[in-house]
Amino acid sequence: MKIDAIDLFYLSMPEVTTDADGSQDALLVRVQVGPHVGWGECEASPLTCIASYVCPMSHGACRPVRESVLGRTLDEPADIARIGAELRFNSMDLLQAPHTFSGIEIALWDALGKRLGEPVYRLLGYKQGAAKLAYASQLFGEAPAETERRARAAREAGFHAVKFGWVNFGRGTVAEDEAHIEAARAGMGAGGKLLIDAGQIFGSDVAAAAKRLPGLARGGAVWLEEPFLADALEAYGALSRQSKQVRMAGGEGCHSAAMARNLIDFGGVGFVQIDTGRIGGIGPAKEIADYAVARGVTFVNHTFTSHLALSASLQPYAGLADHQIAEYPFAPRSLATDITVNHILPDADGLIRLPEAPGLGMTVNAAGLRRYLQDVEIAVAGSILYRTPALSD
Amino acid sequence: MKIDAIDLFYLSMPEVTTDADGSQDALLVRVQVGPHVGWGECEASPLTCIASYVCPMSHGACRPVRESVLGRTLDEPADIARIGAELRFNSMDLLQAPHTFSGIEIALWDALGKRLGEPVYRLLGYKQGAAKLAYASQLFGEAPAETERRARAAREAGFHAVKFGWVNFGRGTVAEDEAHIEAARAGMGAGGKLLIDAGQIFGSDVAAAAKRLPGLARGGAVWLEEPFLADALEAYGALSRQSKQVRMAGGEGCHSAAMARNLIDFGGVGFVQIDTGRIGGIGPAKEIADYAVARGVTFVNHTFTSHLALSASLQPYAGLADHQIAEYPFAPRSLATDITVNHILPDADGLIRLPEAPGLGMTVNAAGLRRYLQDVEIAVAGSILYRTPALSD
């Protein structure tokens, strides 16, 4: 069957703040493959992705994303890999392309799963999905008391693992950071898993990051996430070698499988966190799940948005029972919740499971999303290259 | 002084082909800093860059490029570095941002140089510029006879070094590639430097690339450029270790200084090729020139477009007399030639020198560019975020 249509929808909350909260807008993708509809989501700047999808070609290695996808054949998983390889070559000089293609690739898997009547994870070769331990992913409070309150709320909501990140971490003194770590531990109790996300705050300053290691160890943190810029491999490697107890986590910034392999091989991370909405989709993420297994590294999803994105992000390691921890957006904006009709909810033990349904197993709530839909129009030299299409199922 | 205005101009040839020829369009940047005007150029998809400059914020770490630049202070080189660091943090999740910022950063150096009455390379700490040996950068012919003809034409035009790349290299048999290398050598004579550019054709297939090494060595090639995808560090490292005579070159795909350092540290390249229009501008490129010196690697500019871009790309290593070779666009489209009034021309020995004039030393030909100017309009939710401004000096 042919990929007949690809539609991009820019959705946004009425107000977007400078919070490090990726659930404030979304780029939703709908593909039509014969009679089958698939949905995906980019974790990326919507307007920039739309432009990279429709832009005029600059030269043979800087072609718009649509040129490598629209009209192509989709009958089996190998077709998606082939389209991805073609896109990487045709758009190698179009930097935004992997972010844009990610949501399209996810939608292709959803459509293919629906066509073949299988959940995506089975198309990836897993016989069954394993339960994952959801961690409540949230931002630090401004003050330690607020961090403690949020940790307690997550525990009371049934989570056995909590991650705090961003806000003031790494911006003030070491003692201030340690007070937040202690507060988080106090709020969640002795038994829970505590994860800390530095949000790239140390740039490539290994010494500054290393000063936080003793406090992280005392607080029993499982990992220190993204201490550095996404491609600061030398700094990652140096800090990994210094840290005895707390392992490094990173990878959400990876926009290719090669970049994630580099973070494992040269950055020495213990946890590789992949966002299927950025790395180029589910296929490259599965490649990294396999690579992580081979290298003794733990694969973790990165998801801070909708349950459509959550399902996509869990598929690549669905069958890896030993890679149990999973990021779960704890308090997203209403847009992220409203993207799907159904949701992936933690059970009493804080475990989540993928839907046993074809494709991604999520039903997009097209009618309910219209209030978030942003009208976009892009014109070049008098031709309209993009105009927001009608949002329907 | 404040950065009062930043204007982006999308220029294009009337027809753009699938040739791997980056001179077919351009994104020209004009900045206004008090009474001073600076010009720069992005080596990137123009429409996508424009969208990333004006896009609505997605969250605190995915802000439009303009938010980190417009209205900021520019009095000295350190201000440009500070703006760059702020941009990297504020737009870490906006993948296109480094490509877009590159042209802006270049324009800021041009404006600062004009204000301080110094060529940019002196602001970078070089006392004087050294002559560079220009290599004529061009595409392989379809058949070896055409490659030979092009090599001869370059030699007759006074070039002592020639680079061939792309087209069918790596797509057919090893023997076919060797015939092209022999033809290039025949056309340019025994004395000239021959450089070969594989244009990422081998993906990450080390064995396929390695098969070309004997032919490259027999042809006396100085380097094999971009055998692999830009971030395939493992493959680069493996091929570098295998190749005794021909060294690897790469780096044009680097969109951060860290990425270029990784290519040196883990990819083992002997030549690091930096495009100031992609890596984030002149500052990050100078950082890599310093790093290359420290690691015994040769810095080379990457330029396939205008002489404005050529001047920008030569500044970061202008004072490094031992890093002599320089890429020179041999047969660009008229747009690239028309961007500047003055040009950097090889002397009788095939050497080029930077203008001894403030800033980049190039005069942009605004009036002559209007025929290439593309009208662009981008509207979101009823607001026009971008409309092509008037192109004047």
Q: Would you say A196 and A223 are in contact if contact means Cβ atoms under 8 Å apart? A: yes
**Among partner residues B48, B99, B258, which is closest to A231 by beta-carbon distance?**
B258
Contact B234/A262, CB-based, under 8 Å?
Answer: yes
Contact B258/A232, CB-based, under 8 Å?
Answer: yes
- Section A103-116 average pLDDT: 98
Strand order in the sheet with B36-42: B3-12, B25-33, B36-42
CA nearest to B265 within chain A: A234
The rounded distance, in Å, linking the Cα atoms of B118 and B76 is 12
Contact A200/B378, CB-based, under 8 Å?
Answer: no
Q: Would you say B324 and B132 are in contact if contact means Cβ atoms under 8 Å apart? A: yes
Helices A46-54 + B46-54 axis angle, to 10: 170
Strand partners, B30: B7, B39
What's the pLDDT at B392?
85
Q: Tokens for A59?
A: 């030269």
pLDDT under 50: residue ranges of chain B: none
Distance from CA of B163 to the nearest CA of A (A): 18
Percentage, residues of chain A above pLDDT 70:
100
- Chain B CB contacts of A98 under 8 Å are 95
Strands B351-352 and B161-165: unpaired
ipTM here:
0.96
Torsion of Cα atoms, A150 then A155 then A156 then A158, to 10°: 130
The rounded distance, in Å, linking the Cα atoms of A350 and A363 is 23
**Among partner residues B45, B56, B85, which is closest to A62 by beta-carbon distance?**
B45
pLDDT in tens, A113-162: 999 999 999 999 999 999 999 999 889 999 999 999 999 999 999 999 99
Distance from CA of B258 to the nearest CA of A (A): 6
The rounded distance, in Å, linking the Cα atoms of B197 and B277 is 19
Contact A22/B229, CB-based, under 8 Å?
Answer: no
- Section A301-326 average pLDDT: 97
Contacts of B217 (CB under 8 A, 6+ apart): B244, B245, B246
- Chain A CB contacts of B254 under 8 Å are none
What's the pLDDT at A20?
86
Strand partners, A194: A162, A221
**Among partner residues B16, B89, B232, which is closest to A258 by beta-carbon distance?**
B232
Confidence of residue A248 (pLDDT cuts 50, 70, 90): very high
Contacts of B277 (CB under 8 A, 6+ apart): B40, B41, B42, B43, B44, B99, B102, B103, B106, B305, B309, B312, B313
Strand partners, B248: B224
Contact B48/A48, CB-based, under 8 Å?
Answer: yes
- Chain B CB contacts of A60 under 8 Å are 17-21
At residue B126's C-alpha, the angle toward residues B123 and B128, to 5°, is 115
Site from B95, B168, B261 to mutate, A interface, most A CB atoms within 10 angstroms: B95
The full DSSP string for B121-149 is HHHTT-SSPPPEEEEEEEEPPSSHHHHHH
CA nearest to A234, candidates A263, A273, A272, A210: A263
Q: Would you say B142 and B176 are in contact if contact means Cβ atoms under 8 Å apart? A: no
Max Cα distance, chain A (Å): 63
pLDDT at A88 over 80: yes
- Could you tell me where the DSSP H helices lie in chain B? 46-54, 77-90, 97-116, 120-123, 144-156, 174-188, 206-210, 213-218, 233-242, 257-265, 282-295, 307-314, 334-338, 366-369
pLDDT in tens, A175-223: 999 999 999 999 999 999 999 999 999 999 999 999 999 999 999 999 9
Mean pLDDT of chain A: 96
The rounded distance, in Å, linking the Cα atoms of A27 and A306 is 11
The full DSSP string for B237-282 is HHHHHH-SSSEEEE-TT--SHHHHHHHHHTT--SEEEE-TTTTTSH
Q: Tokens for A181?
A: 């770590």
Distance from CA of A116 to the nearest CA of B (A): 31
- Chain A CB contacts of B50 under 8 Å are 51
pLDDT in tens, A236-246: 999 999 998 99
Please count the residue pairs, one from chain A and one from chain B, whose beta carbons lie less than 8 angstroms apart.
Answer: 223
A197 burial type by CB count under 10 A (0-12 exposed, 13-18 middle, 19+ buried)? buried
- Chain A CB contacts of B48 under 8 Å are 48, 51-52, 55, 94-96
First to last CA, chain B: 20
Contact A234/B262, CB-based, under 8 Å?
Answer: yes
* Amino acid at residue number B231: D
- Could you tell me where the DSSP H helices lie in B6-45? none
CA nearest to B371 within chain A: A381
Contacts of A383 (CB under 8 A, 6+ apart): none
What's the pLDDT at A254?
97
The rounded distance, in Å, linking the Cα atoms of A140 and A148 is 9
First to last CA, chain A: 20
Contact A379/B376, CB-based, under 8 Å?
Answer: yes
What's the pLDDT at B307?
98
**Among partner residues B47, B203, B262, which is closest to A262 by beta-carbon distance?**
B262
Q: Tokens for B295?
A: 């690691």
Instruction: Centre a 10 Å sphere on the Cβ of residue B276 and count the other Cβ atoms it contains.
Output: 32
- Section A311-322 average pLDDT: 98
- Chain B CB contacts of A51 under 8 Å are 45, 47-48, 50-52, 378
Site from B47, B233, B376 to mutate, A interface, most A CB atoms within 10 angstroms: B47
- Chain A CB contacts of B22 under 8 Å are 58-59, 62, 93
